[in-house]
Amino acid sequence: MMRLERRSHVPLHLAIIAPLAAILTALLLAAGLIAAADVNPLTAYGEMVNGAFGSRLSIAEMLTRATPLVFTGLAAAVAFRARLWNIGGEGQFFVGALITAWIGHSLEVPGWIGVPILMFAGMAAGAALLAGPAFLRLRFGVDEVVTTLLLNFIVILFVGLMIEGPMRDPLAFGWPSSVPVDGDYRLPDLIPRTRLHIGLLVAIAAAGAVWLILARTVFGAETRAAGLNASAAAFAGISLPQTIMGVALLSGALAGLAGSVEVMGVTAGVTTTMSPGFGYAGIVVAMLAALHPAGVVAAAVFVATVFVGADAMSRATGVPSFIADVIVALCLLTMIVALLFTTYRVRR
């Protein structure tokens, strides 16, 4: 007879090895598909790495793609730690972007004041969007997986309505786009003549702030307790409704901030195609990071490398760039298995 026994704590070496093993396994599995396309997997992966790190411009583009992934990864990590299954990062991203473009187009304050205001507006919009499903779960027991997932589609349809109607940019030559934020509220570039902006530094600072909150505050301890054993946490006097709602507001705010920073740093306006799935990819980022804020930054860089490098790999080898989606999905599946063996040990 064999059984799984929960570990009292996860050893540091396992916490480091698990995501690396998951990524390696995913790449090995994807290599079979690449080989089926009559392409040497080593050549394909070499082109992928070169496409993401082969030049100053490619590195900047990869980091630009990683920036919103850090925010959405943090949003998922915070929520999942408390067993609040926020699948609505995509919707929160879009609502944060929309409110930023709306306010930023007509705001009349200096840039150094306006940028924080717009970031806070995006955070407030994302937090408000997740507060609804959190309330439904706490008050009526409604599954937040369903409500947050369905809200993604509702929000995207609402964004389409707004950019085709009251927020339509008259200078977009018929392209469905919202009015842009004022130029004073655009984020400065980190590297000249690239799209990389200081939002990357904001994302790294957010990761540090989330780590401090979770590791060094009472709220962070209550969040961990609620996630590990809700019944024991309630018995110890922790208010589960207050903790879950606080986690929901923080998680939604981070996803909304992702949309706000993307508008001010990259797109200027909002379109329904501005996100290639940042909210959903953030879940993979959080899982690869084992829900640790510091690991989220590294995982975001890896996922961004796969997406940016896959385009270059496709041009060089003919392998469809959709292989990036396959690799990211495989990483999620293999990481779930890796987490099983890091959380539990096999006993005879």
DSSP, collapsed to helix, strand or coil, labels residue 14 as: helix
Residue carrying the six token digits 């904001």: 202
Backbone angles phi, psi at 14, to 5 degrees: -70, -40
H or E stretch including 121?
A: helix 111-140
pLDDT in tens, 235-253: 999 999 999 999 999 999 9
- For 86, the enclosing helix (H) or strand (E) is none
**Block residue for tokens 């890796």:** 338
Indicate the pLDDT class of residue 118, thresholds 50, 70 and 90: very high
CATH number for the domain that contains residue 229: 1.10.3470
Helix, strand, coil shares, percent, the chain, to 5: 75, 5, 25
User: Which residues lie below 8 Å from residue 191, measured CB to CB, with a gap of 6+?
Assistant: 56, 60
Q: Which residue has the higher pLDDT, 7 or 145?
A: 145
**Res 7 pLDDT > 90:** no
| 265 DSSP 8-state letter | I
Element (H, E) at 75: helix 56-81
Query: What distance in Å separates the CA atoms of residue 124 and residue 141, rounded to the nearest whole number?
Result: 24
Nearest to 48 by CA among 38, 37, 34, 36: 34
- Residue 163 to residue 335: CA distance in whole angstroms: 38
Q: Is 292 left (phi over 0), alpha (psi -120 to 50) or beta?
A: beta
Element (H, E) at 238: none
The distance of Cα 198 from the centroid of its chain, to the nearest Å, equals 18
pLDDT digits 0-9 by tens, 161-216: 999 999 999 887 878 899 999 999 999 999 988 999 999 999 999 999 999 999 99
Of the two residues 280 and 4, the one the predictor is more confident about is 280
Say how far residue 211 (Cα) sits from the centre of its chain: 16
- What is the pLDDT confidence band of residue 342, given thresholds at 50, 70 and 90? confident
260 touches 75 (CB < 8 A): no
Whether residue 256 contacts residue 125, with contact meaning beta carbons closer than 8 Å, is answered with: yes
Print the domain residue range for 7.
Answer: 3-347
Average pLDDT over residues 113-128: 97
Alpha-carbon 56 to chain mean position: 24
> CA 268, CA 91: separation in Å to the nearest integer?
18
Dihedrals φ, ψ of 106, to 5°? -115, -5
Contact 130, 148 (CB under 8 A): yes
Tell whether the model's pLDDT for residue 221 goes beyond 90: yes
Average pLDDT taken over every residue of the chain: 93
State the greatest distance between any 2 C-alpha atoms of the chain, in Å, as a whole number. 70
Decide the pairing of beta strands 344-347 and 3-6.
Answer: antiparallel
DSSP 172-226: STT---BPPPPGGGSPPBSSTTSS-BTHHHHHHHHHHHHHHHHHHSHHHHHHHHH
The total number of structural domains in the chain stands at: 1
Higher pLDDT, 118 or 5: 118
Instruction: Tally the C-alpha atoms within 13 A of residue 6's C-alpha that lie toward its C-beta.
Output: 2
pLDDT, residue 163, reads 94
Q: What's the pLDDT at 170?
A: 87
- The pLDDT value given to residue 27: 96
